[in-house]
């Protein structure tokens, strides 16, 4: 449907975009599989295009600062130079025993690089502390989706038959089931608002999508020459799945996972408004965005900063992800 309907529009666009001065042969030729020698991390880094380099630096800085924030809380009990993310600067300060003189929704300053939020808390510090939660939620739930959904999808797309029918019916049930009902039920079941429980729940809800995407690819790959050939020479099904299907399903799945990661971080913030997320006043990027929303007409920055962090991180993840995907596809000789 898509192809026939939109052909003309795209054709026009693609022509103008490609400009016609490239040598298409080069685009399509895949370097044939000579395994390059293992390189040091530094060598790999040097190999990166500038955008990927910047992205890597961003991710490393982010991880280090999340680590720093965690160290500050867990090891040094707030003695490192970083504002307390939960201290309301206009409220009672247990450390000094006095009431602070801070203000709500302050503009950025040297003291508060990203200003303060609606409760007069240091936004910079909250963003740093929020990194930890947001990254954990994104990584755990996406991993959950990719591993379970990816495996199931690859399997049924390849094996087919009754297994496929049964499993896909179950997936339909999961997809059609109102997520909010499930979430509210889980709130009443799990008293603890554990970070990993939340990540798991989000992951669980995303499994159907991963399953369907990987199944679609698995279906296509299962009929390629190299798979039918492998079957013909009596290779074990499990081996085919592992060697041929999964490696070929993975790129698409990962591409999906990396864009989904951003959505997950925002969803977590939405969940905090259902009471199903980390206990208040813990900061996450998602709940920072959502809590600042009510003041968006007064102080746009408080929505903007966490959203920008999210944007840069997603961009960086995708850049780096693409780079490694390219590298691995250059190495693997699936053709």
Partner 1 sequence: MRQRRVVTALAIPLAFAFVAASCGSDSSSSNVTTAGTTATEGTTSTDTTPRETVPDVDTSVVAQTEKPVMGGSVTMGLEAEATGLRPWEDSCSSPCYNIMRTIYDTLMEEQGSGGYGPYLAEDLTPNADFTVWTMTLRPDISFHNGTPLTAQTIVDMFPLQQAGAAGASAISSSKLTGVTATGDLTVDYTLSGPNSAFAAFLAGAPLGMPFDPAAATADSAGYSTNPIGTGPFTIKSRDIDNETVVVRNPNYWRTDADGTQLPYLDSISFRPIPDEGTRLDALLSGTVTAMQSLRQGTIRDARAAGGNINLIEFQGNNTGGGMYNTAIAPYNDQRVRMGLNKMNDQKRVIEALGGTGISLPSTQWFSTDSPWWTQEAADSYPAFDFDGGKALIQEYVDDPARTDGKAPGEKIDVELSCPPDPTLIAAMQVIEQVWTGTGLINVKLTQYDQATHINNAVSDKHFAHCWRWGGQGDPAAQIDPFVADPAVSVANFPNYNDPEMQQWAAEADATDDFETRKALYSKIMTKINEQAILWYSGSTAVMVATEPDVKGIISWDLPSGEIGVGIPDAAVRWQEVFVSAG
Partner 2 sequence: MVKTIAFILLRLIATLLAVTFLTFAMVALLPGDPVDTILGTGPRPPGIEEQIRADLHLDDPFLVRYVNWLGDAVTGDLGSSYITDQPVADTISQRLPVTAQLAFMSIFISVLVAIPVGVMGAYKQSKWQDSVSSAGVQVALSIPNFIFGIFLIWLFAVKLGWLPASNWNRLSDGVVPNLKTSILPAFALALGQMAVFSRLIRSDMISTLQENYILSARAKGLSDRYILFRHALRPSSLSLMTIIGISFGALLGGTVVIETLFAIPGLGFSLINAINGRDILLIQGITVFIAVMFVIINTVVDLLYAVLDPRIRRS
Cα separation, 118 vs 124, in Å, equals 13
Beta carbon nearer to partner 2, 73 or 315 = 315
Q: What 8-state DSSP symbol labels residue 147?
A: I
Of positions 39, 242, 293, 326, contacts partner 1 by CB under 8 A: 293
Q: Is 241 in the site for partner 2 (CB under 8 A)?
A: no
Nearest to 253 by CA among 136, 138, 170, 142: 142
Determine, following the binding rule CB under 8 A, whether residue 119 of this chain makes contact with partner 1.
Answer: yes
What x/- string results for residues 172 through 201 when contact with partner 2 is judged by CB under 8 A? xx-xxxx-xxx-xx--xx------------
| H-run or E-run covering 99 | strand 98-99
32 binds partner 2 (CB under 8 A): no
Name residue, tokens 């040097």: 46
**Minimum distance of partner 2 from residue 3's CB (angstroms):** 5
Own/partner pairs, 228-233, CB within 8 angstroms, 24+ separation: none
Minimum distance, C-beta of residue 187 to partner 1, in the bound complex (Å): 7
β-pair partners for 332: none
CB 303 within 8 Å of CB 289: yes
Q: Which of 199, 272, 284, 319 binds partner 1 (CB under 8 A)?
A: 272
Q: Could you say whether residue 47 binds partner 2 (CB under 8 A)?
A: no
Regarding 329 and contact with partner 2 (CB under 8 A), the answer is yes
- The verdict on 33 binding partner 1 (CB under 8 A) reads no
Determine, following the binding rule CB under 8 A, whether residue 271 of this chain makes contact with partner 2. no
* Residue 334 DSSP label: -
**Contact pattern from residue 274 through residue 313 relative to partner 2, giving x for each residue in contact according to CB under 8 A and a dash for the rest:** ---------------x---x--x------x---x--xx-x
Helix, strand, coil shares, percent, the chain, to 5: 70, 0, 30
């Amino acid at each position: 449907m898509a192809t026939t309907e939109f052909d003309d529009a795209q054709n026009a666009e693609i022509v103008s975009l490609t400009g016609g001065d490239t040598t298409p042969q080069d685009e399509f030729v895949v370097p044939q599989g000579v395994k390059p020698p293992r390189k040091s991390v530094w060598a790999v880094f040097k190999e990166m295009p500038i955008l990927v380099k910047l992205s890597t630096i961003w991710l490393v800085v982010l991880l280090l600062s999340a680590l720093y924030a965690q160290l500050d809380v867990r090891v040094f009990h707030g003695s490192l130079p970083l504002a307390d993310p939960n201290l309301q600067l206009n409220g009672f300060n247990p450390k000094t025993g006095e009431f602070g003189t801070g203000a709500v929704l302050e503009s950025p300053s040297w003291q508060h690089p990203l200003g303060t939020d609606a409760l007069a808390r240091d936004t910079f510090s909250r963003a740093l502390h929020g990194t930890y939660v947001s990254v954990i939620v994104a990584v755990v739930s996406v991993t959950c989706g990719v591993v379970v959904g990816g495996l199931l999808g690859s399997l049924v797309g390849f094996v087919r038959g009754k297994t496929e029918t049964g499993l896909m019916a179950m997936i339909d049930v999961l997809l059609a089931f109102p997520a909010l009902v499930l979430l509210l039920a889980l709130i009443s079941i799990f008293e603890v608002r554990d970070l990993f429980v939340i990540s798991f729940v989000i992951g669980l809800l995303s499994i159907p999508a991963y399953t369907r995407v990987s199944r679609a690819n698995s279906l296509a790959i299962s009929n390629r020459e190299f798979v039918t050939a492998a079957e013909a020479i009596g290779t074990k099904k499990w081996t085919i799945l592992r060697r041929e299907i999964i490696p070929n399903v993975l790129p698409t799945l990962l591409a999906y996972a990396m864009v989904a990661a951003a959505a997950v971080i925002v969803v977590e913030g939405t969940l905090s408004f259902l009471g199903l997320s980390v206990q208040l006043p813990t900061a996450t990027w998602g709940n920072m965005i959502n809590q600042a929303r009510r003041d968006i007409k007064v102080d746009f920055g408080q929505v903007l900063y966490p959203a920008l962090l999210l944007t840069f991180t997603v961009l960086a993840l995708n850049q780096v992800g693409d780079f490694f995907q390219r590298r691995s596809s250059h190495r693997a000789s699936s053709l």
